[in-house]
Structure formats: structure tokens, C-alpha cells
Amino acid sequence: MTNSVRVRFAPSPTGYPHVGNIRTALFNWLFARHSGGTFIVRVEDTDVARKVEGAVEAILDGLRWLGLDWDEGPYYQSQRLELYHEAAQRLVSQGDAYYCYCSPQRLEEMRAEQVRRKQPPGYDRRCRDLTEKERAEKEAEGITPVVRFKTPLSGQTRFNDLIWGEVVFENDTIDDFVLLKSDGYPTYHLANVVDDHLMEITHVLRAEEWLSSTPRHRLLYQALGFEPPQFAHLPMILGADRAKLSKRHGAVSITEYREQGYLPEAMVNFLALLGWSLDDKTEILPQPELISSFSLERVSRTAAILNRDKLNWMNGVYIRSLSLEDFTQRALPFLDSGLPAEVKRPLSIDYIRRIMPLIQERARTLAEVAELAQFFFVDQLDYAPGLLIGKGMNQKSASQALETAKQRLEPLEVFDAESLEVVLRPLAEELGLKTGQLFGALRVAVTGRTAAPPLFQTMSVLGRERCLRRIEAALDRLRQGGR
RNA sequence: GGCGCAUUCGUCUAGUGGCUUAGGACACCUCCCUCUCAAGGAGGAGAUCACCGGUUCGAAUCCGGUAUGCGCUACCA
């Protein structure tokens, strides 16, 4: 198959893998998997100054976590420098590029002047038509030049973006951009075009911020005699204030989402729906459905804001869909790191297995599991004594209720949910209380909170001794509170 | 400043000239279920489809202008 799809995810290791980049990777991956094509990872490490240690691993980890497996790469542009040099050289000898000896200072001053005069900033092309003699003089001064592209001074560059339709740019608005920097590294523009050609990329799916650069790339393809790929620019993901995503928007790195207990499957589903939709109602689309239904035609053109509430909801949906064992295994590390230090380690897996059914349907993130289950593990419960006294009750009736309950529970041999219900439900009526009142007092006594999993199941897991001890402690609190 | 692009409930979105009194989801509110919470069920509120003008028998959908926002305008990607 000569015409099969080849796409790439081309991150630059200048920082953490934020959700916008990851969403771009996802769309590339979905597009490749949908069409039976090839997904390639290429690290664009051409900016030596901004390179961040460990960034590549973080990016690759993020992809692996989400299950975005790649078929080729990762390739590193820093290891392919000759290729870019050759291309630049060829462009120079063809007359499509030239050496520029302007100093950074001169460029900066020039730009400042242009801005001051409210003119469009851009290189003034001083070195575009240097004579051999002038060039030789500059070389003699020991200046290492950059290579600039000789952008056509007139005409238009147009292309048909798969998502945005036909886009037209006037060539005279594009300046002579740099292809090769003086440190020998290529700029994004050169490296990107050379590699996309060499790697036979058929579709370039990248963020919208590249739309304005695309005419430069088209011009380069043309000058190099390469067949350009199809372009599809993806809408951006913005922060809640509609500004470009940055650290102050909270979690922006995909690794943070993992740490906060989001499931990769939920993350994939959620991210896929940021800028893409199947129809007017389908929200839950697990990976296989995503792959089979993904299409560029249904990618939207408007920037999206990441809605945490909806992510939380969706993560809850995925958590509930897990098998109990799977959920337990995934929750384990979060329990281990989230439970107070005083709780003895290693945690008992058997005990945890009995707790998790009560937690699974209530957790929206794995990180919440530790908090939701904490009272199952700690020795001392910490709560305000007033919580023991429910609506329509007072200290006396609360004490009496707990005291009586304690007496009835003590002789119980079987301490399962059913037996507990048989004993406690009638007790409420006997005490002249509503079930909510009795159970509420017991719930607080036994869990320290007013919202918890169902009482009988909870008590059953806690066990008779622990329940009795906690009820005793609650009675103590009530007595102290009354002094 | 120049160039490019966008604009439907708070947010994600459906919608490509009549099927639309603009549909769904999250969040919010009410009710049901119920020992609390969660989940689930039933309802509700929430969008003059940015604005102005035009084309048309008919426009969220087509055209023009304005506003706002975003992106690019680096020897960053």
C-alpha cells in the first residue's frame, strides 16, 4: 500500500507535555489507527537553549500511559543535522536561500524601530542581495551567518486545510525567515519540512498556532521540489480565562492528571471530545469506538476550554465501569500514598478488597479513594461531637440510642450487613426514632462523618470489635460534650 | 501595527437554507428512590445562535461590514 496514511507527533522537549500537545498526539494517533496507517514520534530538539532535561521521557511516558503506541521513532532531529544542512545548502545554491550576516543586536534594533513606527516587524532583507565581494568581507570578519529563505516578493500562497478550508496568504507579508541558525541547528520550519518529506508524512495534524506558518512551509516544499502533505490544523485548548494554557491554569501537564487519579481511558475519551464529536449525543466513547468513528471532518474549528467538572464526571463513569479487581489494583498505589502515615504498612489487600466495593461507586478520581476510605484505616476518628446529635435529637436521646445499639450489637455472632439490619432497623422504632436519626448517629460514631457508604455494609467491613469501640468512644464524647 | 482564523446555553458541543418553539452532555435547581453520600430515574432553569445590514417565500446556517477573542509576526517551537 503506497498511499497509506503516515502521521507524526512532533513535540519539542522544551517543557512538560501539556494537554494541548497530548490532544494533538491523540488525534494523530486516532487518525492513524482509524485508517490503518503509521504513527510516528519525532522529537524536535533543535532549540538547544530551551531544552529541558527529562522532557522527552515525560512526553513519552504520557503517550505510553494513554496507550498511544507509536510505530516508528522516536526520531531525534538533533541526530539528523546533516540532512538539514544539505537541504539548506541546496536552497542556497539554487538561489532560494542566502547567508545573512546581520547581528542579533542589529535585528533587535531594526525590529524596535519598526514597532515604534507601527510598521510590520520583519527582516529588512539587507543581506538578500549581497555581492560575492561583500560576502567575502563579512566572512573575513569571522561572522558565522544564518541561512535565510528568499521569500517571493509577490504572489500568493494558498493551500486547502482539511479543517479550515482554503487559506490564502500574500507572499509579501512573509519575511525572509531563518532556515539554519548560526549554531548549526535548523529552525522548526526547515527541519519540519525536510523530515516530513523524508519520513513520507501524508497528513500534518498540528495545533492551530501553526496555521500562519504553513505558507512558509508550502513555499519550502515548493523550492525543495517536495510534494507537500495535507494539512489539518487542530483547534487549541485554552484555560478557563480563554488564554493559552499555562501553569497558572492548574493542571496542564498530562502527568498531573495521572497523579490526581484520572484514568487514562477517561482522559483519552475526554480529550477526544475536545475539538471533535461523533454526533449530538454520544459522550462515552471507549478507545475502540473512538478509533472506528474518528474522522477529520468532524473536528471543530473553535478553541475549547477544558471543563474539569465534566472530566471528573467522565472519570467517575470509567471508574464505575472497571471490574472490582481492576479498580482495586489501580486504587492501591493511591491508598498507599494517600492514607495517613500512622496507618500501618503494608496495607492488607484482603481488607482493602472488602472496602473497595463501597468506594468504587463513589470515587470520581483514584486520588479520592484514600480520603473516602480513610475511616476504615485510622484508629482515632476526629469529628465534632455535635454531629452525633441529629435533627430532632438531643444529647440524651443520642446517648440512649448509641448505648442501646451497643448492647444489641455486643451479642451478635454474625456481623454481616443483613444481620445488622435485622437488629438495628426495628431498634429505631423501639426507641421512637426515625431510622435516619438512629442510623445517622451510628454512622457518625462509626465513621466520623455524616456522608459515608451504606451503614450496615460499612459496619460489617469494620467488624464488631471496632464498631463497638467506636460507639463507646462516641458515648464518651457525648458525655464530655455535656459537661 | 500587519496577516490569518474564529464567534450556538457558564463549559464541551449537535446543527451545512424549511425536520428547530435551536438538540445532547457536564455543572446548577426540584422531585422520586433512600439510613447519609454516591449512583439511578423524572422534571426545571439556562442560548434574542457576538452585533448590524443584505440575499431569500424562509437564515444559526449564504454574503458584506463591525466588535471581540485567539494565533502568527524570534537565529522558540
Residues A290, A272: contact at Cβ < 8 Å?
A: yes
pLDDT at A246: 73
Q: How far is CA A145 from the centre of its chain?
A: 40
Dmax (CA) of chain A: 109
- Which pLDDT tens digit goes with each residue over A24-76? 999 999 999 999 999 999 999 999 999 999 999 999 999 999 999 999 989 99
Question: Among all strands, which nt has the closest C1' to A189 (CA)?
Answer: B77
What are the φ/ψ torsions at residue A6 (nearest 5 degrees)?
A: -130, 120
Looking at every residue in chain A, the average pLDDT score rounds to 94
Task: Indicate the pLDDT class of residue A1, thresholds 50, 70 and 90.
Answer: very low
Question: Among all strands, which nt has the closest C1' to A46 (CA)?
Answer: B77
Whole-number distance in Å between A31 CA and B42 C1': 40
Task: Give the count of beta carbons closer than 10 Å to the beta carbon of residue A57.
Answer: 11
Kindly state the average pLDDT of the residues A194-222. 96
Pairing mode, if any, of strands A156-161 and A165-170?
A: antiparallel
Kindly state the average pLDDT of the residues A167-192. 94
Kindly state the average pLDDT of the residues A353-378. 97
Cite the beta strand spans of A83-228 per DSSP E: 97-100, 146-149, 156-161, 165-170, 178-180, 203-207
A284: pLDDT strictly greater than 70? yes
Look-up of cell digits 480529550 = A271
Question: Among all strands, which nt has the closest C1' to A215 (CA)?
Answer: B4
Amino acid at A192: N
Whole-number distance in Å between A392 CA and B30 C1': 25
Kindly name the residue from A247, A310, A344, A396 that is annotated as catalytic.
A247
Whole-number distance in Å between A106 CA and B8 C1': 49
Task: Indicate the pLDDT class of residue A2, thresholds 50, 70 and 90.
Answer: low
pLDDT at A54: 94
A482: pLDDT strictly greater than 70? no
Share of chain A above pLDDT 90, in %: 87
| Strand B footprint nucleotides (protein C-beta < 7 Å) | 1-8, 10-16, 23-27, 35-40, 69-77
| Domain limits, CATH 1.10.10.350, in chain A | 385-479
User: In whole angstroms, what is the distance from residue A127 CA to residue A141 CA?
Assistant: 15
| Domain limits, CATH 1.10.8.70, in chain A | 323-378
Pick the CATH number of A385-479 from 3.40.50.11710, 3.40.640.10, 1.10.10.350, 1.10.390.10: 1.10.10.350
Amino acid at A450: T
* CATH domain A81-234 topology: Rossmann fold (3.40.50)
- Which pLDDT tens digit goes with each residue over A117-164? 888 888 999 999 999 999 999 999 999 999 999 999 999 999 999 999
Whole-number distance in Å between A203 CA and B18 C1': 38
- Which pLDDT tens digit goes with each residue over A232-250? 999 999 887 777 777 777 7
Residues A264, A26: contact at Cβ < 8 Å?
A: no
Kindly state the average pLDDT of the residues A420-431. 93
Known catalytic residue: A247? yes
* Alpha helices (H) in A141-253, listed in sequence order: 188-198, 214-224
Question: Among all strands, which nt has the closest C1' to A301 (CA)?
Answer: B6
Whole-number distance in Å between A280 CA and B23 C1': 7
The reply to whether ipTM tops 0.90 is yes
> Can you tell me which residue has its alpha carbon closest to the C1' of nucleotide B3?
A173
* CATH domain A323-378 topology: Helicase, Ruva Protein; domain 3 (1.10.8)
pLDDT at A130: 93
Stronger pLDDT, A121 or A298, i.e. the higher one: A298
pLDDT at A117: 85
